Homo-oligomer: A and B are copies of this chain.
Amino acid sequence: MSLYQLQHLQQRFAKKTVLDIDELTIEQGCIHALLGPNGAGKTTLLNILAFLESPVCGELAFQGKRVDYAKGNILSLRRQVVLVDQHPIMFSTTVRANIEFGLKIRKIDGATRNRVVDEVLETVGLARYKNARADALSGGETQRLALARALALEPQVLLCDEPTASVDAENQAVITELLRTINREQATTIVFTTHDRLQAATLAQHTLVLENGQRVNTTYENSYACTFEPTSGDKDRYLLHGVVELYLSAENRKSGQGGRGRITLNPESIRLVTDLRESPPVCSQVQGRVVMMMEEGHTIRVVVDVGVLMVVLMLADDYRQQNPAIGQQVCVAVPDSACSWTTAC
């Protein structure tokens, strides 16, 4: 079942569009990862999902009902969702009072509050700090306390902004496991942002990628500074970062002269070839070593060092067939259609 549905949603600050999402669904009870570079609009999207910001246009439905941003209504919606900041801030009171805050607001009686505080502190492993000052905890502990403070409210949805970006390896493992547990035991829907593809791939059932405020299938990293020059044949010679040669059809450009610019290779359209003796190439090829492979949804992300790093997204079948190994010499086939070219201004 879909919990959130976004359609043609836009957010602007000072006339700049920071978020522009055509369509997005958040499934109830699932963990969603939100991947993307800094400034891609991840935090803005979380704020909108937490009902802390209202979009300038577009539709947002929650639990099947269109969200009405009238004052009384939005408060009751907001009470079903908790957002945990990247650098959570604690009220300058005790650990206990921080957790009780949301409970008091919801008019929960004292005995229940006590029980809940003890429970959630136990869950995040901070029971010993119950009466300590909340703003004196370390970074990792603060992050865990922020989770406890959110959990105490038993929200429908837990939104976490980079929950593990600012904590050490040990706390990272603890927090990741906590999110898994919460999702499993209380069926809480979780949306978290991250830079870490592996975390996204292993923790979440769904991964969404944002770039420049828009949804994309994957972040296009294969973007290189590049010069090109015409050759005598029907191909132009492209030189990526001065080190990698590509020969692409001359149709891509208008002018008959050489020039400088950027070339972007679609990681879904370029192909990995492990058998170097394969049939003569029908398109430009570059050679390199496989340096990384990881699971990414239904595809395998393979990074090849061809002088520059090149990302190839392989389908599972293709991956099994080619069976590349780390350190292996492979070819990357670059068809003309995988390239897009912008001339330097």
- For residue A24, CB closer than 8 A to chain B, the reply is no
Known: A170-B223, A173-B223. A293 touches B37 (CB 8 A): no
Q: Which of A170, A198, A220 has the most CB of B within 10 A?
A: A170
The answer to whether A291 and B201 touch across the interface, beta carbons within 8 angstroms, is yes
Which of A53-61, A71-79, A104-112, A300-308 interfaces with chain B? A300-308
- For residue A169, CB closer than 8 A to chain B, the reply is yes
Per-residue 0/1 for A293-320: is the Cβ within 8 Å of any B Cβ (1 yes, 0 no)? 1110000100101001100000010011
- For residue A172, CB closer than 8 A to chain B, the reply is yes
The answer to whether B303 and A198 touch across the interface, beta carbons within 8 angstroms, is yes
Known: A300-B326, A326-B300. A202 touches B319 (CB 8 A): no
- A202 and B39 alpha carbons, distance in the complex (Å): 26
Per-residue 0/1 for A165-206: is the Cβ within 8 Å of any B Cβ (1 yes, 0 no)? 011111011101100110000000000000000100110000
CB contacts under 8 Å to B, within A271-305, are 291-295, 300, 303, 305
> Which residues of B lie under 8 Å from residue A139 when comparing CB positions?
38-39
Number of copies of chain A assembled together: 2
Closest chain B residue to A127, Cβ basis: B344
Q: Could you say which interface size class chain A belongs to?
A: 35 or more
- For residue A254, CB closer than 8 A to chain B, the reply is no
The answer to whether A221 and B169 touch across the interface, beta carbons within 8 angstroms, is yes
Known: A168-B38, A300-B327, A320-B325. A173 touches B292 (CB 8 A): no
Q: Which of A181, A294, A345 has the most CB of B within 10 A?
A: A294
17 contacts between A and B (CB under 8 A): A38-B167, A170-B262, A173-B224, A173-B308, A176-B309, A177-B225, A198-B291, A198-B303, A201-B291, A201-B292, A202-B305, A202-B309, A291-B294, A291-B295, A300-B327, A316-B327, A319-B326
Q: Could you list 13 further interchain pairs (A-B, Cβ under 8 angstroms) beyond the known A37-B168, A170-B262, A198-B303?
A: A128-B345, A170-B223, A173-B241, A181-B242, A201-B291, A201-B292, A292-B294, A294-B294, A294-B303, A300-B326, A300-B327, A319-B325, A319-B327
